[in-house]
Structure 1
Amino acid sequence: MKKTLKITDIIALGFMTFAFFLGAGNIIFPPLAGQLAGENMLPAMSGFLVTAVGLPLIGIIAVAMAGGGWKGLTRDLPSKVATLMAVLIFIIIGPAFAAPRTGLVAYEMAVKPFITDASQTSLTIFSIIFFAVALFFAWSRGKLIDMIGKFLTPALFVVLTVLAIAVFVNPQGTIVAAQGDYVTQAFTTGFLEGYNTMDTFAALMFGMLIVDVIRGKGITDDKTTCTYLIYAGLIAATGLAFVYVSLFYLGATSSSIAAGVGNGGTILTTYVMALFGSTGQIILSAIVLLACLTTAIGLISACADYFSTLTSMSYKKWAVLLAVVCAIVANVGLNMLIALSVPVLFALYPVAIALVVLTLIRKWLPNPCLAYRVVLLVSFAFSMIDVAKYLKFDVSLFSSLPLFHYGMAWVLPTLIALIITRFVGGNQPNDDDKNSVKI
């Protein structure tokens, strides 16, 4: 008899996925975008939702279609290239950047305001405690649904719901005129702002982890696993959309109490204090701590899961090592690491998006092997223009490319390569292999 999950387990799985995606950065970006968009909030928010919710959901679906693993996603690429891509993504989104940042942001926004004489020592102590707790929850992949989906995330969602209701019932100001690019390009600007969440990378990482969690519940059938993964993605996308809409509205109605601050975290803090008074910092601390903790758990789990498949070290040993590294990086040289990681993100993010698109249309490609190589190579090559621009090199030669000034010079060349390889390349047998799942 084919094993299935109960409705409560499916909901918990979706909540767990939602919590993995919702980090502190995701909470900070929308308020500032909402404030700048002002009366153009709706088109700006729509654009933001496309990239901050739509792309991660599509990424989850792509992972499901590929059979739930990196090998399925990259089966048409040379194995060494696929492994190098994965290692770079996991390092940047894991121990080198995103995971340590969760601890640092949790300290700055949720703990430091309660410490009279905050020092490097207090940050060190907090980092050790924070990542020790994250390691505790990440220790057993099989219990992630029970620990995060059934306990931590509901608590996070309740606090976020309280904030959302308060924002809509008692807005702290009126919506004013749009500013900057939001005046004439609200949708496009919101669309580009959504890239800051970097959740397309996260979708590729967490998709593989969620598959392991599902299989840890005794689900062995590929099609059933694929279905549950898509359910989890849909639940997570719904939750993210709910949070982003409320935070956009919070930002749009914040001009009278937080005008010109230029920082989403400050807007959020000021607004919550205005709504709830002295208890506002406690509510904000609960939101940030839970959001950062659940994301840290997901990142440590996903990285440990992948690296354990490449080496002889076990998942638990990798989890311990990653937690220790994250605690150290959160204290030493994080600003330099962030500066170093940005060019890598510029280089790899377009490749990740192109990979997702190729996975979705693979069955219509006459020669998937050729298409994957050409399209990903083009996306990477032209993304290096944006990397060079970030590093202050003169790339004015390419300034005529559409979206060049937005840091997206790779889009048109990649699209052209995709169209060409859709019709050119001869006929190669394109049967779905055992790693892929028909939906």
Structure 2
Amino acid sequence: MNKDTFIIGFMLFALFFGAGNLIYPPILGIESGTSYWAAFAGFVITGVGLPILAVTAISFVKNDARELADRVHPLFGLVFTSMVYLTIGPIFAIPRAATVGYEMSIEPFMGGASSLALLVFTTIFFILVFIVSLNPSKMVNQIGRYLTPILLIAILALVIGGLLLLDSPLAEPLERYATAPFFTGFVEGYLTMDAIAALAFGIIVVNALKERGLTTKQELVRATLKAGAVTGVALTTVYASIGWIGAKMAANGPYTNGGALLSDAANNMFGTFGTLLLGVIVTLACFTTSVGLVVACGQFFNRVTSIPYKWIILITTLASYLIANQGLATIINFSVPVLVFIYPIAIVLIILTFMHRLFNGATGVYRGAIAVTAVISLYDGLTAFGFDFPTISPIMESLPFFALGLGWLVPAIIGGLIGLLFKQGNQRVQNS
């Protein structure tokens, strides 16, 4: 691997490393307890492996994620890609970043949650996000370039302190981790949102490689995989470490989210200074991530709607501000059903991209696999929201791997095969 591989790999790490990367591994650790490593293995598949594959999938096309989704149908491409940007933008990821910043920098010194403090914090936070997003410059990139190593050093100190100072035994896992820790961790990896964020970030990596003289598809795919390997190792190391801190903090719980857990861990090990330092650094990281996501949403929706960029980022910022003030727990609760719906579709789309040559890019394969997946994942998402479907539920629950959260897997394969057979049948009719 050359220097550029590491530079781009760490750039991608900086893009991924936001609120979700901090708050979910500790909760995975505390809930999985003695089943931690099995659960973590599943988490890495969707939290690390899938995002790297998603970025690599973008290197197969000339433009962005919409080109991949257009292989199903142009309307699907527009709708699905818009959903991706809304999810990683004003609906969940940006508000989550702001609330994580608040809960790790302000709340530990407030003696508990305060809606007024959250309102003041998010008001200042989003005013600054909007101002910087109006004219994004190298300043944000420079902050990210220097902030990421500092954040990693802070986390390293936290991890070393955890290994040396946290000696509580691991707790018994929750029931879902006790019965199927790997697959529970697999589904929990959805919550980082990194795989769908990768569909938006992928073009940044591809453009960075093109600027370094790579032109052919083979070169771009190979280089993207190498840079992704650097990112993957860094993410896996950080996830494993802070997840282990969560597992060792079980005796100090309960915790409603990973941000509060990490702040408490920092305070236990390094006192008030540790909590303050971690809070400031994480807030800065969440700020730069929020700016990047606001800019990405502004640029995408400006292309597809022709609405002026400044109006789109104003709407994005205001929506994020309103949702952020609902609190982190509320954001997480509402994000789970949406991600349960979107993630299987994204997974199937990414896998089909890598198998594109095997079926000569037949549209029927894409449509068959995606259509079936969308129906089942929509059911899963609605039931996660609390809807009840007594007529349909027995059918869905009879699907292979349904209990593991993978009821869409076998139907997606069948849907793709039907699409392939339909294409071949049409070819025979045309040739006869």
Matched, 1:166 2:161: yes
Displacement of 1:158 after TM fit? 1.7
Aligned match of 1:131 = 126
Aligned match of 1:307 = 301
Aligned partner letter, 1:402: P
After TM superposition, list the pairs within 5 Å mapping 1:62-141 onto structure 2.
62-115=57-110, 120-135=115-130, 138=133
Displacement of 1:120 after TM fit? 4.8
Aligned match of 1:357 = 351
Aligned partner letter, 1:372: Y
Q: Report if the CA contact (8 A) 1:135-1:320 is conserved.
A: yes
Query: So what's the TM-score if we normalise by structure 2?
Result: 0.85
CA distance in 2, matches of 1:121, 1:175: 37
Displacement of 1:68 after TM fit? 4.8
Q: Report if the CA contact (8 A) 1:366-1:423 is conserved.
A: no
Matched, 1:187 2:185: no
- Report how many residues are paired: 422
Judged with a 3 Å threshold, the aligned counterparts in structure 2 of structure 1 residues 249 and 344 are, in CA distance, closer, same or farther, namely: closer
Matched, 1:374 2:368: yes
State which drifts further: 51-60 or 18-27.
18-27
What is the aligned counterpart of 2:400 among 399, 402, 424? 402
Judged with a 3 Å threshold, the aligned counterparts in structure 2 of structure 1 residues 341 and 281 are, in CA distance, closer, same or farther, namely: closer
Displacement of 1:104 after TM fit? 2.1
Judged with a 3 Å threshold, the aligned counterparts in structure 2 of structure 1 residues 110 and 222 are, in CA distance, closer, same or farther, namely: farther
Q: Find the residue that maps to 1:66 and give its secondary structure.
A: coil
Judged with a 3 Å threshold, the aligned counterparts in structure 2 of structure 1 residues 227 and 112 are, in CA distance, closer, same or farther, namely: same
Aligned match of 1:234 = 229
After TM superposition, list the pairs within 5 Å mapping 1:329-340 onto structure 2.
329-331=323-325
Q: Report if the CA contact (8 A) 1:367-1:425 is conserved.
A: no
Aligned partner letter, 1:330: A
State which drifts further: 272-281 or 177-186.
177-186
Displacement of 1:276 after TM fit? 1.0
CA distance in 1, matches of 2:230, 2:284: 18
CA distance in 2, matches of 1:333, 1:39: 30
Displacement of 1:214 after TM fit? 5.7
Displacement of 1:24 after TM fit? 2.1
Aligned match of 1:271 = 265
CA distance in 2, matches of 1:176, 1:346: 27
Q: Deviations over 1:168-220 (max 9, x none)?
A: 233332334444233342222222222222221111111134445666x5768
Displacement of 1:52 after TM fit? 0.8
Aligned match of 2:412 = 414
Judged with a 3 Å threshold, the aligned counterparts in structure 2 of structure 1 residues 111 and 357 are, in CA distance, closer, same or farther, namely: same
Q: Find the residue that maps to 1:401 and give its secondary structure.
A: coil
What is the aligned counterpart of 1:250 among 224, 245, 250? 245
CA distance in 2, matches of 1:189, 1:175: 18
Aligned match of 2:38 = 43
CA distance in 2, matches of 1:225, 1:337: 37
Q: Report if the CA contact (8 A) 1:124-1:331 is conserved.
A: yes
Aligned partner letter, 2:24: F
After TM superposition, list the pairs within 5 Å mapping 1:200-239 onto structure 2.
200-212=195-207, 221=215, 223=217, 226=221, 229-239=224-234
What is the aligned counterpart of 2:283 among 273, 279, 289? 289
Q: Find the residue that maps to 1:426 and give its secondary structure.
A: helix
Displacement of 1:363 after TM fit? 0.6
Q: Report if the CA contact (8 A) 1:301-1:319 is conserved.
A: yes
State percent identity of aligned pairs: 33
State which drifts further: 57-66 or 159-168.
159-168
Q: Find the residue that maps to 1:174 and give its secondary structure.
A: coil
Aligned partner letter, 2:349: L
Displacement of 1:331 after TM fit? 3.2
CA distance in 1, matches of 2:246, 2:262: 8
Displacement of 1:335 after TM fit? 7.9
Q: Deviations over 1:115-170 (max 9, x none)?
A: 58985554333223323443455556673884254222222222112212222233
Q: Report if the CA contact (8 A) 1:300-1:323 is conserved.
A: yes
Judged with a 3 Å threshold, the aligned counterparts in structure 2 of structure 1 residues 337 and 38 are, in CA distance, closer, same or farther, namely: closer
CA distance in 2, matches of 1:117, 1:261: 12
CA distance in 1, matches of 2:215, 2:132: 27
Aligned match of 1:434 = none
Aligned partner letter, 2:280: A
Higher helix share: 2
Judged with a 3 Å threshold, the aligned counterparts in structure 2 of structure 1 residues 142 and 294 are, in CA distance, closer, same or farther, namely: closer
Q: Report if the CA contact (8 A) 1:142-1:213 is conserved.
A: no
Query: So what's the TM-score if we normalise by structure 1?
Result: 0.83
Displacement of 1:92 after TM fit? 2.5
Displacement of 1:87 after TM fit? 1.2
Judged with a 3 Å threshold, the aligned counterparts in structure 2 of structure 1 residues 36 and 116 are, in CA distance, closer, same or farther, namely: closer
Displacement of 1:39 after TM fit? 2.8
| Gaps in structure 2 of 5+ consecutive residues | 428-432
Aligned partner letter, 1:50: I
Aligned partner letter, 2:375: A
Matched, 1:23 2:18: yes
Judged with a 3 Å threshold, the aligned counterparts in structure 2 of structure 1 residues 141 and 204 are, in CA distance, closer, same or farther, namely: farther
Matched, 1:154 2:149: yes
Aligned match of 2:430 = none
Q: Report if the CA contact (8 A) 2:345-2:373 is conserved.
A: yes
Judged with a 3 Å threshold, the aligned counterparts in structure 2 of structure 1 residues 133 and 248 are, in CA distance, closer, same or farther, namely: same
Displacement of 1:21 after TM fit? 1.8
